[in-house]
Structure formats: C-alpha cells, structure tokens
Amino acid sequence: MMKVRSGMFDESSKSHASSKLVSMIAAFVIVFLVIYLFEAVVPSILTMKPMMEEFANMGLEEGETISFAESMKVANKVSAPPAVMIPTLISTVFGTIISMVYCRFGEMRSLGSMGVRKKKLVPHYLTGLGIGAVLMTVIVLLSALFGAQKISFCTGVNFGLIGLYWIGWFFQGMSEEFIFRGYLMNTVGGKHNYMITLTVSSVAFALAHAANPGFGPLVFVNLALFAVFAGLYMILTDDIWGSCAIHSIWNCTQGNLYGISVSGTNEMESVMKTVADSDSKLLTGGDFGIEGSIFTTIVLLAASAIVLYLMKKKGVIEMS
C-alpha cells in the first residue's frame, strides 16, 4: 500500500471539519457559491450596460428569452475588453480571502494547513513560474510541430497592458489554488487517503469550468489532470506558493505570450498569435483552446509522472 506524507494533511487532520465526505463536499459547495457571488459583483457592474445593449441589438423583445449557450456567448463577448477582463481577474481575490477565512474560523485550522508558509516562499514561487511557463511552451511547440497550430509574432504589442493582465492572472491563479487545493484538497486530505483527496479536488476543479465555451470530455480530463498535477506538486513542496505560480503563469503564458484562448475566453493582448491549422478538436482543443488538446493531456501526464518520481525520491511517498 502507498502512503503519502504531508505536513499540510497532518495539520488539517486536527480541523473541526466533518470526517464525512458528503458533508465536506456540501460545505464546499456552499462556500464556493458564496465565493462566486462575491467574485461576480465587479464583472456584473461592468457588463450590465453592454449586456443590455447586446440583447437589444439581437432584437429581443420584453419577456423573450434566449438559450443558455447564446447567453454565454454574449457574456463572453462583453467580458472580453481589457477594461472588464482585468478587473474581473483581480476580483477573484475574494476566492483567496473567503477560503482562508472559512478554513481558519469555520474549520478552525491553521493557515499552514492550507500551505501558507513563509519558508522558501520566494524560491518556490519563482520555481513554479519557470515550471508553468515551460509546460505551456512545450504544449504549444508540440502543437506547432505536429501541424495543429501556426505561431507568428504580433506587431505593436502593448506590454503595459500585458503587465496589467499579469497582475490579474496573479490573483486568479492564486485564488483557484486556495479554493481547490489549499481549502478543498487539504480539508479532505486531513481525513481521507490521498486517492480520494486528489479525485474529489480534481473533479471539482474540472466541473467548475463546465460552463466555459468549448467544454467537453477531453477538456474535463485535462482540467482534472492539471488539478492532479498541481495537487501532487503542492504535496511535494508542502506549500501552496509553487502551485499558485504554476497556475498563474500557465494562464498568462497561454493568453498573453502565445495568444491562445484561456479556458474558452476571448483573445487578449499578446506577444504572439497562435491560430489553428487543423480542423481536429483533438489537436487544437476547439473553442476551449489548447488546454482541450491531446498535447495538453500528454504533457500533464508526463509532468505528473515526474512529480510522483520526485515524491518517491524525497520520501513523500512510502510503500508499505
């Protein structure tokens, strides 16, 4: 039998959270909905007027409704401008704050049990930035090598705007790591074995993106694989900072370096432009972007295998 040693899980085992998995998931759903409501305030204010204008341009009469898919297209369109997108990304800081408050005062567990540690914060974060950028670069290069995508450089790049996007991705990546890994994964990990822990947190992370344009079976698998990789990496380093950095730079590199749709969002200011050169969604990821491609599957499987090897070498994984 394989056993995983984790200081975070040890600290989480002392929490006041219920040991019943169903109760843990129910509590998470409630907390997640609260986070969603807080994070939706800023984008709702910024998109209310343009949404009404879009519906008016569609010729909708009072009381007339449209499909969920059509409404999501409209929402995606009005959310695309930097003046909306960047504040929306920054507003995800509520996810970090609320998950920390809930774990500290709801479950009565330390912030250390979420992976919040001062020791090696900077080197772990910088290492995570390197890993995330390399992973996305390998995925894009594989896609180009096999003829699925074409890459070209953009002209007149607004690097100041890209810097603002990076600030937004910093908060967004950190928020999702605190919600799904620092909170959910470690709460479950304190009471259950690592297989249940990774499964629950990874499925929850993937399902949270189900409303995004282009979501499908392979997208679900890849998002779950990313969550598994991030979770394993977090257990390996025994803090949250490396996975936060990986997540943030993964999105920033994808969207603002290579010019690829990030999880189905519209295009944004970027250094390069990557366009599909194939009709195969398996190779390109379709509307969701390259995260939904088979190349992402391959790279995340390889990355997870490397982390597992490092965990075994470090003694984090024990065989009994």
The domain limits of the chain are 2-319
More confident residue, 95 or 2: 95
Rounded distance, CA 303 to CA 298, Å? 9
Average pLDDT score over residue span 211-234: 95
Please compute the mean of the pLDDT values over residues 219-242 and round it to a whole number. Answer: 97
CA separation (Å) from 2 to 19, 312, 320? Answer: 21, 10, 6
For the chain, first and last CA: distance in Å?
A: 5
High-pLDDT (> 90) share of the chain, %: 82
pLDDT level of residue 139 (50, 70, 90 thresholds):
very high
pLDDT at position 228 is 97
3-state secondary structure of 136: helix
Looking up tokens 């499908």 gives 216
Q: Give the phi and the psi of residue 275 in degrees, each rounded to 5.
A: -120, 150
What whole-number distance in Å separates Cα of residue 206 and Cα of residue 220? 5
Which uninterrupted H or E stretch holds 72? helix 68-79
Closest CA to 224 of 285, 137, 128, 304: 304
Residue 62 confidence class, pLDDT cut points 50, 70, 90 = low
Q: How confident is the model at residue 164 (pLDDT cuts 50, 70, 90)?
A: very high
Q: What is the pLDDT of residues 248-293, one digit of tens each?
A: 999 999 999 999 999 888 789 999 999 999 999 999 999 999 999 9
- If one compares 209 and 3, the residue with the highest pLDDT of the two is 209
**pLDDT of 75 higher than 80:** no
**How many residues comprise the chain?**
320
- Would you call 77 helix, strand, or coil by DSSP? helix
pLDDT tens digits, 106-115: 999 999 999 9
Give me the mean pLDDT over the 72-91 stretch.
88
Alpha-carbon dihedral angle through residues 85, 226, 120, 193, given to the nearest 10 degrees: 130
Q: What is the pLDDT of residues 311-320, one digit of tens each?
A: 999 999 876 6
What share of residues in the chain are helix, strand, coil (percent, to 5)? 70, 5, 25
Does residue 91 contact residue 41 with C-beta atoms inside 8 Å? yes
Model's pTM, two decimal places?
0.94
Mean pLDDT of 134-149: 97
Strand pairing report for 272-276 and 149-153 = antiparallel
What pLDDT does 309 receive? 94
Q: What is the mean pLDDT of residues 45-52?
A: 88
b vs e for 287-320, b when ≥16 Cβ sit within 10 Å of the residue's Cβ?
A: bbbbbbbbbbbebbeebbeebbeebeeeebbeee
Q: Is the pLDDT of residue 60 over 70?
A: no
pLDDT for position 5: 86
The pLDDT score that the predictor gives to residue 318 is: 78
Average pLDDT along the chain = 93
Do the Cβ atoms of 88 and 79 come closer than 8 Å? yes
Question: Above 80 in pLDDT, residue 65?
Answer: no
Q: Higher model confidence: residue 193 or residue 2?
A: 193
CB contact at 8 A, 247 and 176: yes
- pLDDT value at residue 181: 97
The CA distance from 143 to 150, in Å, is 8
The whole-number pLDDT of residue 1 equals 60
Q: Looking at the predicted structure, is the pLDDT value of residue 32 above 80? A: yes
- C-alpha dihedral sign at 295, 296, 297, 300: positive
pLDDT value at 74 more than 90? no
Q: In the prediction, which pLDDT does 320 show?
A: 61
